[in-house]
Amino acid sequence: MQTETLIKMANQIGDFFEAEPDKAQAQKDIANHLNRFWTKDMRNQIAKYAKEKQGAGLHAQVISAISAYLKA
Amino acid sequence: MDDIKYSTHSHSVNTYDPKKDYGTPKSIAEKNVTLDIDGVTVSVPEGTSIMHAAQLSGVSVPKLCATDSLEPFGSCRLCLVEIEGRRGYPASCTTPVAEGIKVHTQTSKLADVRRGVMELYISDHPLDCLTCAANGDCELQDMAGAVGLRDVRYGYEGENHLKQEKDESNPYFTFDPSKCIVCSRCVRACEETQGTFALTIEGRGFGSKVSAGNASFMDSECVSCGACVQACPTATLMEKTVIDAGTPEHSVTTTCAYCGVGCSFNAEMKGQEVVRMTPNKDGGANHGHSCVKGRFAWGYATHKDRITTPMIRKNITDPWQEVSWDEAINYAASEIKRIEAKYGKDAMGGITSSRCTNEEVYVTQKLVRAVFGTNNVDTCARVCHSPTGYGLKQTIGESAGTQTFDSVMKSDVILIIGANPTNGHPVFASQMKRRLREGAKLIIADPRAIDLVENSPHVRADYHLNLRPGTNVALISALAHVVVTEGLVKEDFVRERCEWDSFVVWRDFVAKPENSPEALESALGVKAEIMRAAARMFATGGNGAIYYGLGVTEHSQGSTMVMGIANLAMATGNVGREGVGINPLRGQNNVQGSCDMGSMPHEYPGYRHVSDPAAKALFEAAWGRPLSVEPGLRIPNMLDLAGEGRFKALYCVGEDIAQSDPNTQHVTHALESMECVIVQDLFLNETAMYAHVFFPGASFLEKSGTFTNAERRISPVRRVMSPKNGMEDWEITAKLSKALGYEMSYAHASEIMDEIAALTPTFKGVSFKKLDELGSIQWPCNDEAPTGTPTMHIDEFVRGKGKFFVTQYVPTTEKVNAKYPLILTTGRILSQYNVGAQTRRTKNVEWHSEDIVEIHPHDAEERGVKEGDWIGISSRAGETVLRATLTERVQPGVIYTTFHHPESGANVITTDNSDWATNCPEFKVTAVQVTRVHQLSDWQKHYKTFSDAQIAFANNKLSKKTQQPA
C-alpha cells in the first residue's frame, strides 16, 4: 500500500489517543489498535518507514507506539 | 410473542391466534375481568372490548369498521350486542368488558338490526361479487352471509356511488370508490398505523367519501405503505397483483429483504408465484405494518434482468460465455488455485453483503478463512456501521444496539442523530411517530431538515440541531459539557455500572471551557442556548433514547462519535431498561447479522478476535484447518492493494462495491487490476461488469436462512419458490469450497445455523426449530436466556463496567476552500434501497426515477442555478452531473443527494477519507463546487459506453452452441 495512506491512517489513530492523559497508555493503545486491525504487511511497512525515515510526517505518539509496542 | 393465555369456562385456556381478527387491539392491563358471553364465562384483561372478549371465547360478532390493528370507531352498527340490565344495543367494539355482565351477541332483535344495516350498505354497493377481485376475501360479503341478508327492499335505482371512477394512479393498488362502505378503516390506518394522515373522509352524510386530499393517490401525501389496503374490508383498496392473478391459495411467513427493520411478511402464493406480500400481524419488528418496499417492491425477484445461468470469461473486455454450474465452479476454483500459487494466499479475499443471510455470510467467511487460508474477508458494514461495532464494543462490550423497537413506546425524550427514519426505516418510524403523538419529546441532530423536523403531521421536533456536516463530535462534547457542568449526571448509575476512573477522566475533559456550547457554536453553526436546552431536555426528561444512523458513522470520526453517544447515554443513566438505550438504525436487513457472523477481517463469529488463542483453537477444531492469527485486509485495503497489483482474486457475494463504495474511479481501477473477480448476485451489477466469473444468486424468496435486524432479532427467511438459478447461495459457496478441496457437507441452511450455534455463545440456543416455534429470537439466546434477550445490559454491561472514552473533536481534513466551497452530504429516499439493484427493477421508480441534488436557494442563486437545471458537481475525487432542486431543507453551504442510480455517479465525487478506527468511508462530507452545465460529465459519458458494452456482453453471451472454436 502507499506509505502515505498508512501514515494518514496511523496519524488519525494517533489523533484519537492524543486525548488520553496517560501518555504511556496512549502509546500502548495506539499499538494495540494497529496490532488488532492492521495486517502484518501494513504493520511491517509502517515500522520500516518509521525506522528508515525517523518517522517523518508521523504523529510523535505513533512513532513511540511503533517502536515500543508494535507486533512484528 | 403473543402467548397471553385467556381462560374460559368451556375451554380452560384459549391461546391468542394471530391469524384471527379480534376486532379491537389487545388490552395489556394486568387485572382480569370475568363476564358471560352467550353462556360462556370468559376472563380477560380489564379494558378489553366485548367484541375482543367474544372472539376469545369463540364467538364472532359481526363487524365491518372494526379490525384489531386500529382503535375502535363504532360507526358500522353491525357489532351491536345486548347486555342484561342495560338499555339499548351498545356497539361491542367500543364497549369495554365489565365484571359479571351477561352479554348476548345473537338475539332476534339484533338479527333484525344487523340485517337492516347490511341492507343499507348493499343498496349502494355493486353486486358483481363473482367477478370482483375480493371475491372470497371480502368482509362485506362475509357479513351479508352472516346476517342472512336475502333482500334489499330499497332497490338499486336511487342515488348511489356506483358510477364513481377508479383511481389507478398508484402502481401497486387501485382505489375503487364505488365499492367503498366509508368504514374509515383506511383513513384510520393512515393515521394510526402509518402516521401520514394522507387520507380523510370528505363531505358529510350520503356525500361522505374517502379522499386523498383532493388529489390522486399518486399526487397526494400517500407513501404507499399499504396500511390502507391491508385495513380495507372490501375491494375498494386492492393490490393490482390480486386483481390480475386472483386470490392466493397458500401463505408462508418470511422476512423482508430490505432495510434493517426486518419486517415479517406473509408471502401469499399461488403455487410458486407470489400474489402479494402482506405484513405479518405477529411480526416482532413490524406488528402488521409495512412500507412501500417490503409490501410491494418484490417484483425484482422475477425481473427479466435476472441472470440465471453461470458465466465466465478470460478478460473483462470479452463477451460472457454461458457455462454449466460445474464448469463455472471448476473454472473459479482453478483460477483461485493459480493465483494462490503465483501470488500467495494474501492476494485473495472475499466480500460479503448485508443482503446475504446469516448462513451465507457464515459459509463465505469460513471459505475465506479455512480454505483460502487468509483472514481477508470483509463485509459492506465496513462502509456503513463498522464504527458502531467498534465503538459499542469498546464502551459497553457488545457490538449491537441495546433495545427492541418496542422500547420506543416507553421513551420520553428521543434523540435522533444522523438518521432519517421516515425514509430509511419507515416501519419503525411509524412506531416512533405514534410515541411522539403520545407526547414524547424529540431532538434531532442533522444538517438537513428531515421530515421529522416539521414535515410529519402531528409531530414536530422540539429542537433541531442543524449542525455543519463533519462536526458531530463537537456536538456530543457540547451536549456532554452541559450535562456534566450543570450537575445532570446520574451519578448513582455511573458509580454502580461504570468504570469510575474512566468517567472522571471523561468528565474533566468535557467540562473544559473549550467543549462548552458557547465555545463550539461557531464550528457547529448551532446556537449555544439551543444546545444547552436540548441537553437539559435529554438529561432530565425521563427515559432518554438515542437513535442514530449513517450520519454518525460515515465520518472520519465515526467511531469517536459512537463512543461519544455511549458516553452520553451512560452519564445520563439511559442504558439497561426499556425506553432508553443506544440504538443504531441499520441500513440493510442483515447488517447486524453479517457482522455477528464473523465477516470482518479481524474477528470470528461472535466478535472474537482472530488473535484470541481460545477462539482460534475452537474454530480450528471445528473446521479442521489451520487458521491465521493475523487480521486480514479491509475492503479499502483490498482495493488499495489491488490497484497496486498486489491483490488479485476476489469472491464478492451479493455486494456491489463499484456502486456503493467511495471514489468510484479508484474502485473500478482496483477491479480492473485483479485477475479473478467472482461476483455472485441476482443481476449484472456494477461490480459484475468487472468480473471474470458470474455465479447467479437466488432471491430471498428462493432460499432458506435467517436475517438479523437492528434490534438483534433473528428472523427466518423461508423458501417459497424454486431458485431460478438452480440453487441457494450457500450451496454455491459450498460447491466452490468442495472444488477447492474442502467439503462443506450441509444438507440444509438449518445445519449451518446449528454449526453457528455450536460455535457462538450468543447464538447457543438458536435453531430453525426454535425460530419456527417462537417466530423470531433476539440474541443473546443461550441457557440463561432461552427465548432471547430483548433488552441488553440490564444489570451489568456485557464488558462488566461501562467504560467512558475521551472524544476529542478533530475536524476532518476534507475541508472547504475557494475551489470547493460547498459540502456534499448523502442519504437515501423512501422508495429506493441502497444501490437500487432491487428497487430500480420495480415500479418504485415512479417515485424516484433519478437522483436529484438538493441545493439551498441562496447557493443556487449565486451560481445561476434554477429548479431542474443540470449541475456539475466536482470534488477532489471526480466530477458528475445531476439535476438540481432548490430547497431550504439543506442549509446554505451544504448540498445533498442520494446514490440509488449508478449513472448518477454520486460516489465518483466522494473521497478516500475514512474513519480513523475502522476505515468506514467519510460519505457524509465531501467538499465540492457546483456549476450549471449542459452535458454529462466525462465519467458519465465513459460510464454509459462501458456499461452499454458490458450489458451487451451479457445479453449476447456465447452459449455452448454459438461458441466459436478457440
CATH 1.10.8.60 fits B5-106, yes or no: no
**Gap between the Cα atoms of A70 and A31, Å rounded:** 5
Interface TM-score (ipTM) > 0.95: yes
B959 — pLDDT class (breaks 50, 70, 90): low
- Listed by start position, the domains of chain B span 5-106, 128-302, 313-383+591-778, 386-584, 822-934
Grouping H, G, I as helix, E, B as strand and the rest as coil, residue B471 is coil
pLDDT at B29 exceeding the cut of 50: yes
Question: For B323-346, how does the pLDDT look when each residue is reduced to its tens digit (9 = 90+)?
Answer: 999 999 999 999 999 999 999 999
Confidence of residue B156 (pLDDT cuts 50, 70, 90): confident
What is the third-level CATH fold of B386-584?
Dimethylsulfoxide Reductase; domain 2 (3.40.228)
Show residues of chain B in contact with A2, CB under 8 Å.
640, 644
Of B257, B178, B581, nearest to B398 by C-alpha is: B581
pLDDT digits (tens, 9 = 90+) for B916-929: 999 999 999 999 99
- Inter-chain contact A1–B919, Cβ cutoff 8 Å? no
- Indicate the average pLDDT of chain B: 95
- For residue range B715-725, list pLDDT tens digits in order: 999 999 999 99
- Show the domain range for A19: 3-69
- For B640, the closest of A1, A12, A20 (CB atoms) is A1
Q: What is the CATH number of domain B128-302?
A: 3.30.70.20
Q: Which of A6, A9, A36, A39 to mutate to test the interface with B (most CBs of B within 10 A)?
A: A39
- The class (CATH top level) of B313-383+591-778 is alpha beta
Domain count for chain A, please give it. Answer: 1
Q: Could you give the angle at the alpha carbon of B400 between the alpha carbons of B793 and B436, nearest 5°?
A: 80
Q: Is the pLDDT of residue B4 over 70?
A: no
Q: Which residues of B502-535 are buried (b: 16+ CB within 10 A; e: fewer)?
A: bbebbbebbeeeebbbebbbebbbbebebbbbbb
Distance between alpha carbon B312 and the CA centroid of its chain, in Å?
A: 34
Q: B734-748: per-residue pLDDT in tens? A: 999 999 999 999 999
Q: What is the dihedral of CA B400, B401, B403, B404, to 10 degrees?
A: -90
Measured between beta carbons, the chain B residues lying within 8 angstroms of A18 are: 808
pLDDT tens figures, B118-127? 999 999 999 9
Q: What is the mean pLDDT of residues B228-233?
A: 98
Judged against a pLDDT cut of 50, whether residue B962 lies above it is answered with no
Q: How confident is the model at residue B8 (pLDDT cuts 50, 70, 90)?
A: very low
> Cα dist. B474→B129, B503, B552, B811 in Å?
64, 18, 12, 9
Q: In what order do the strands lie in the sheet with B82-83?
A: B14-15, B5-8, B40-45, B32-37, B102-104, B82-83
pLDDT tens by residue, B564-616: 999 999 999 999 999 999 999 998 999 999 999 999 999 999 999 999 999 99
As a three-state string, the secondary structure of B198-232 is CCEEECCHHHCEEECCCCCCCCCCCCCCCHHHHHC
- Does residue A3 sit at the B interface (CB-CB below 8 Å)? no
Query: Searching chain B, which residue's CA lies closest to the CA of residue A15?
Result: B810
DSSP A3-17: HHHHHHHHHHHHHHH
Assign B57 a pLDDT band (cuts: 50, 70, 90).
very high
Count CA atoms within 13 Å of residue B437 on its CB side: 16
pLDDT, residue B14, reads 66
Q: Do A2 and B916 touch (CB under 8 A)?
A: no
pLDDT in tens, B373-399: 999 999 999 999 999 999 999 999 999
Which residues of chain B neighbour A1 with C-beta distances below 8 Å?
Answer: 637, 640-641, 644
Nearest to A19 among B559, B641, B808 (CB): B808
What pLDDT does residue B101 have? 97
Contact, B601 vs B634, CB < 8 A? yes
Residue-wise pLDDT tens digits, B232-254:
999 999 999 999 999 999 999 99
Helix, strand, or coil here: B105?
coil
Mean pLDDT of B133-154: 94
**A9 interface with B at CB cutoff 8 Å:** yes
Q: What angle do CA A13, A17, A20 make, to 5 degrees?
A: 180
- Cβ contact A2–B560 (<8 Å): no
For residues B79 and B91, is the Cβ–Cβ distance under 8 A? yes
What is the amino acid identity at position B660? S
Contact with chain B for residue A72, Cβ under 8 A = no
- The verdict on a CB contact (< 8 Å) between B917 and A2 is no
* Contact between chains at A9 and B917 (C-beta distance less than 8 A): no
Tell whether A1 is within 8 A of chain B (Cβ).
Answer: yes
DSSP secondary structure letters along B573-629: T-SSSTT-EEEE--SBTTHHHHHHTT-STTEETTTEETT-HHHHHHHHHHHTS----
B609 CA: distance to closest CA in chain A (Å): 8
CATH dotted code for B822-934: 2.40.40.20
Banded pLDDT at B964 (limits 50, 70, 90): very low
Which band of pLDDT confidence, cut at 50, 70 and 90, is reported for residue B11?
A: very low
Over residues A21-40, mean pLDDT: 95
Does residue B50 have a pLDDT over 70? yes
When pLDDT is averaged across residues B820-843 and rounded to a whole number, the result is: 93
Q: B interface mutation test: which of A9, A13, A16 has the most B CBs within 10 A?
A: A16
Q: Assess whether pLDDT exceeds 50 at residue B517.
A: yes
Q: In the predicted model, what is the mean pLDDT of residues B158-185?
A: 94
Does A23 reach chain B within 8 Å, measured CB to CB? no
Q: How confident is the model at residue B773 (pLDDT cuts 50, 70, 90)?
A: very high
| CB of B684 closer than 8 Å to CB of B670 | no
A5/B640 CB distance under 8 A: yes
The answer to whether residue B16 scores a pLDDT higher than 90 is no
Query: Which residues fall within 8 angstroms of residue B420, CB to CB, at 6 or more apart?
Result: B446, B450, B451, B452, B549, B551, B827, B828
Query: What is the arithmetic mean of pLDDT over B502-520?
Result: 97
